[in-house]
Each structure stands twice: as C-alpha cells, then as structure tokens.
Amino acid sequence: MDTKTAIVYYSAHHGNTKRLLDAIKKEDLSIKLIDVTKTPIFDLSEYKRLGVASGIYYSGFSQEIYQFMENNLPAGKQVFALYTAGILRKGYTRDVQIIAEHKKCVYLGEYGCRGYDTMGPIKFIGGINLHHPTQEEILKAVIWYRSITPNDAF
C-alpha cells in the first residue's frame, strides 16, 4: 500500500493550524495539503492516510472538514486529526472519529495545541493565546506526526 498522506485543512482566522501543517510538510515533502475552502472535492484513492486539521469552532472542527470527510473519504484509510484551540479540552475530535469509523477507517489519533483565538466575546478583550502556537508546540506537532508514520522515510 502507498505511504502517501493528504491533509485537508481549514485555517481561516489567524492561520494557527496552517502553521502546524507547514512545519510538518517541511519534514515530509510528499504530503499533499488540501485547503478545503478551495478544494471541497478531491480523489483520495491513492493516499494511505488522511489528516484533517482545523481550528476549533464552537467545540468542534469546521463544518467544511466534516462535509469533506463525508463526501471524499474512501473506506479503509488511516485517519488522524490536528487542531488548534483557544481552550484545550477533550472531545474536539469526536465527530472526526465517528465519521472515520462510519467509513470503516482506522483512527490513528490526534494532536492539539493552543492557538490565538478571537472568536465570540473574547474578541472584546483582544483574544487569548496571542503567541500560540509556539515554536515548541509546532515542533511537538512534527514529532507527533513522525510517531504515527514510523515506517515512512522522511
């Protein structure tokens, strides 16, 4: 089976999530990054694994990510999730996991870290986590990605 990875992402407000992906792509140039706002339909048949990445909006990934998974994710793929959030807590990837399981895919896990957040009422105080993700958080995302792709050559 091919070792190719595609990561579909939604990183619209401050680019927090895209910063994680850019660092991972720098380590693994074979990754295909797909901006869901520009490419809502994509043939994933040649890819072994699909990453989904998003900022957290009202306790979940963007609706565009869920819709992309429903419309494009073939059965039997490996799926993982990456996210940035104003507040870290469990449960953000629940719907990603549900869709992956429904599609008979294997869920590999998730990496999440803080991200600059100005959504909702916190925008009136200038937001939270202004300097996140930090370089350390970005490096941890790269290390985490390597841990779920141990047999791939970088």
Higher pLDDT pick, 148 / 114 = 148
β-pairing, 5-10 with 49-55? parallel
Whether residue 141 contacts residue 113, with contact meaning beta carbons closer than 8 Å, is answered with: yes
Structure-block tokens of residue 3: 């070792």
Give the per-residue pLDDT at 1.
41
Whether domain 5-148 has CATH 3.40.50.980: no
Give the per-residue pLDDT at 59.
75
Q: pLDDT at residue 116 above 70? A: no
Give the per-residue pLDDT at 61.
87
The dihedral of CA 25, 26, 29, 35: what is its sign?
positive
Q: pLDDT at residue 110 above 90? A: yes
Angle CA 143–149–152, to nearest 5: 115
For residue range 26-56, what is the model confidence (pLDDT) as tens digits?
Answer: 989 899 999 999 999 999 999 999 999 998 7
Q: pLDDT at residue 63 above 90? A: yes
Q: pLDDT at residue 130 above 70? A: no
Give the per-residue pLDDT at 64.
95
Considering 8-22, 91-105, 111-125, 129-143, the range whose residues carry the highest mean pLDDT is 91-105
Q: pLDDT at residue 95 above 80? A: yes
Give the per-residue pLDDT at 128.
45
* Extents of the domains making up the chain: 5-148
